[in-house]
Structure 1
Amino acid sequence: MLRGMMRWGKWLLAIVAGLAAGLCGAWLSVHGGLGAGSAKSGPWVTSATTGSADAGLRTRATVAIAGLLALSAKEAIYFNAEEDSAGAPLDGRCRYRVTGSDPKARWWSITLYGADHFLVANPAQRFSFHMRNVPRAGDGGFAFDVAPTGEGARWLPTGGQARFALTLRAYNPDPAIIGRPDRAHLPRIEKVSCA
C-alpha cells in the first residue's frame, strides 16, 4: 500500500513539475519580446509583422498581453522602449530627456505605460505627447522630460514606478520605416539624473 502511494506521489510530483516548467517557459517566451522578425533602432524595438497575418504565435501573444489592438504596418508601426539609449532599463524614479525630430509618418505619438501595460495615473493627467502638442526645441525638433516629478508642458510623469515603457506609434508611416525599421531615426532617451 505504502509503495503504491509513493509511486502515485512521484507521478503527481512529475506532473506538477512539468506543468510549472511549461507555464514558466510560456510566460518567459511571451514576456521576452517579439521574437523573430523584431527590429531594434536605438532603445526602440518593433516588429513589422505586428497586426498582420504574418505575425507568429509569440508576437500575437505578446501583443495581446500588452495591448488590445494592433494595426498592420501600413497603417501603423509600434516601437516600444523599455531601456534608455545607453541600454539601461527605464526606471520611473529617474529623470530622462527624450529628444528627436518628427518620425516620417502622417501622425505619431509617444505614450508612457507602467509595468502593468496600463497608463500611469498622475496629477497632471498627462499620458502622452503627439506631433501637435509635443514641446518643440529651437531646431524644430522636440524635447521633453520623463520623470516622477516636474511641472509645465515639458513633463511626462512616471508616477515614480520602478519600471515603465514608452511606446511610439507612427500612423501611416513612410515606406522606408516599414521596410527597414532598424534604420528609422527615432528619439533618443537619455538619463539625466536618478533619485
Structure 2
Amino acid sequence: MWSASRVLTATSGFGAISLGPWVGYPELQTASADPFAKAHRASDGRILLGRAEGLVFTASEDQDGDALSGLCSYEVSGQTPPARFWTLRTTDNAGTPLPAAEMFPASLTSWTTLREPDGTFRITLSAKPATGNWIRLDADSGVAFVLTLIDTPTAGSAGLIELDMPTIRQIGCRDA
C-alpha cells in the first residue's frame, strides 16, 4: 500500500524527456499514458491538455544542475519551441503556484514578453524588480519554473529531443 501511494504522489509518469534543465512528459495526457500517471493526475484534479493542445515543461535546476531556490535570482533566456502561445510561471517544488503580491508579475506570456530583434528574450526572476521582462521570485525554499506551450506542433513531434529550450542561469542569491 505504501509503495503504491508513493508512486502515485512521486511521479507524473514514465517517459520523461529532458532538454537541459527542462523536463516534460509528452505522453502524459494521451491514451498511451501509463496507469500511474493517469491515477496521479486524476487524484491531483488538474485539467489536462490534450497532446495536440499543449506541452508542459518544468525545471527545478539551473543549467549547472543546481537546485532552483527562491532566495536566488535567475535569468531565463533564449527562445521557446514554436507555439501559438506560452506562459512561464513559478511554483514551489510541489507544483503549487507561488503567491503573487499585488501589482507584481507572477508570470509572463508570449504576448507580454519583450524580445530582441532576433526573436530571443531575457527574463529576470528575482525578489527585486528588474528592467525589461521580470517575474517576482520571493520564496524561502526550493522553487520550480513551469513553461507551458499551447497549440504547439512540437507536442506531436518525433524530433522533440532536438528542440532548443530557454537557458536558466543563476545571477545571484540573497543571504539565507
- Give the TM-score of the pair, scaled to structure 2: 0.84
Moved more, 68-77 or 172-181: 172-181
1:159 pairs with 2:119: no
Query: Which residue of the other structure, out of 111, 129, 132, is the alignment partner of 2:108?
Result: 129
- Give the TM-score of the pair, scaled to structure 1: 0.77
CA distance in 2, matches of 1:107, 1:57: 30
What is the total number of aligned residue pairs between the two structures? 173
Larger Cα Rg: Structure 1 or Structure 2?
1
CA distance in 2, matches of 1:36, 1:190: 27
Give the unaligned 5+ runs of structure 1. Answer: 1-21
**Which structure has greater helix proportion?**
1
**Residues 144 and 67 of structure 1: CA distance in aligned 2, closer, same or farther (over 3 Å):** farther
CA distance in 1, matches of 2:118, 2:144: 27
Query: Which residue of the other structure, out of 52, 74, 86, is the alignment partner of 1:74?
Result: 52
Give the unaligned 5+ runs of structure 2. Answer: none
CA contact (8 A) 2:51 2:155 kept: no
Moved more, 43-52 or 166-175: 166-175
What's the RMSD between the two structures over aligned residues?
2.3
2:126 is matched by which residue type in structure 1? A
Q: Which residue of 1 aligns with 2:87?
A: 109
1:171 is matched by which residue type in structure 2? I
Q: Write the mapping of 1:16-35 to structure 2, written as runs, cut at 5 A.
A: 22-23=1-2, 25-26=3-4, 28-35=6-13
CA distance in 2, matches of 1:128, 1:85: 20
CA distance in 2, matches of 1:65, 1:192: 37
1:142 pairs with 2:121: yes
